[in-house]
Amino acid sequence: MRVLRVLGIGWLLHLKIISRSPFAMGVGVTWPIVNATIAYFMYRAGGHPQTLLYASLGSAVAGIWSMAAIDVTGAIQRQRLAFVYAAVGIALLERFLDAARERATLSLT
């Protein structure tokens, strides 16, 4: 249950952060359009207009790749820069300390 909660809240939090990032939104909007435009002109000029559907699908899939790849790496780097992991580490430390107090294991060696 706790794992699901971490996953759910983590997902929501990251979605909120990314949706407020001009970089993520700018790249996410720009690249599928760029890829689709190039594919459109290439297939039209190449005399294969029937493959335009595949080209547009490919552009959309490439957009998913780029968004996922950039945002996943960006999320970890951003949190590292923002000292989020330090905060997570402190929270874990507090939990261990509480557990040690409850079980009186602090002085056990």
Residues near another protein, by CB under 8 A:
22-23, 26-27, 30-31, 33-34, 37-39, 41-48, 51, 55
Instruction: Please identify, using beta-carbon distances, which residue of 73 and 105 lies nearer to another protein.
Output: 73
Instruction: Please identify, using beta-carbon distances, which residue of 48 and 95 lies nearer to another protein.
Output: 48
Burial label for 40, CB within 10 Å (0-12, 13-18, 19+), is middle
CA distances from 93 to 6, 32, 39, 87, 97 (A): 17, 44, 53, 10, 6
CB of 63 to another protein, least distance (A): 12
CB of 27 to another protein, least distance (A): 5
CB of 85 to another protein, least distance (A): 18
Instruction: Please identify, using beta-carbon distances, which residue of 5 and 22 lies nearer to another protein.
Output: 22
Position 31, amino acid: W
CA–CA distance, 38 with 36 (Å, rounded to integer): 6
